[in-house]
């Protein structure tokens, strides 16, 4: 039985999100279909949260009960890694607020959110056997 690799699992969210963006189509500097942009941004942001949950667990951050807010993630990350915090803040604004909630369709802006997401997830790679699949 294969065990989940946090890096690969988080990147799976990013890969799925990129596939959704293909359905959005492009026209000039914008995606055409807001629906697929929203789906993609939501999936990419979910991948970030999955990655951060693993990172916090690895670093020994006490688990919280219930739903975690962005304030929780920002607060805990500010104690651990300021660079990752900057990426989180960018990804939160672009992917979650602008892309998912507001339906922003500007291609280069959405891509910057994806870049921030991949930067966060890449921090997991050395902590999860450099992305290798683990077996039990």
**3-state secondary structure string across 64-83:** CCCCCCHHHHHHHHHHHCHH
At 117, list the tokens.
């997401």
Q: Is the pLDDT score of 131 beyond 70?
A: no
Q: Where are the domains of the chain?
A: 2-128
Could you report how far apart the first and last alpha carbons of the chain are, in Å?
Answer: 6
Tens digits of residue pLDDT in 46-78: 999 999 999 999 999 998 888 899 999 999 999
- Give the model's pLDDT for residue 9: 94
CA–CA distances in Å: residue 111 to residues 5, 61, 78, 89, 108: 25, 30, 24, 15, 5
Identify the band that residue 132 occupies on the pLDDT scale cut at 50, 70 and 90. low
DSSP character string of 114-132: HHHHHHHHHTTGGGGGGG-
2-128 under CATH 1.25.40.10, yes or no? no
Report the sign of the C-alpha dihedral through residues 95, 32, 13, 83, in that order: negative
At 29, list the tokens.
């500097």
Q: Is the pLDDT score of 82 beyond 80?
A: yes
Report the sign of the C-alpha dihedral through residues 57, 61, 65, 67, in that order: negative
């Amino acid at each position: 039985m294969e065990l989940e690799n946090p890096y690969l699992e988080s990147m799976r969210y990013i890969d799925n999100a990129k596939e959704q963006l293909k359905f959005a189509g492009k026209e000039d500097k914008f995606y055409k279909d807001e629906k697929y942009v929203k789906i993609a941004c939501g999936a990419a942001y979910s991948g970030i949260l999955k990655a951060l949950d693993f990172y916090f667990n690895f670093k020994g951050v006490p688990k919280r009960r219930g739903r975690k807010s962005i304030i929780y993630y920002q607060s805990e990350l500010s104690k651990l890694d300021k660079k990752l915090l900057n990426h989180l803040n960018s990804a939160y604004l672009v992917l979650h607020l602008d892309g998912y909630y507001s339906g922003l369709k500007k291609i280069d802006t959405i891509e910057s959110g994806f870049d921030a997401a991949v930067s966060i997830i890449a921090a997991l790679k050395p902590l999860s056997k450099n992305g290798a699949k683990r077996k039990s």
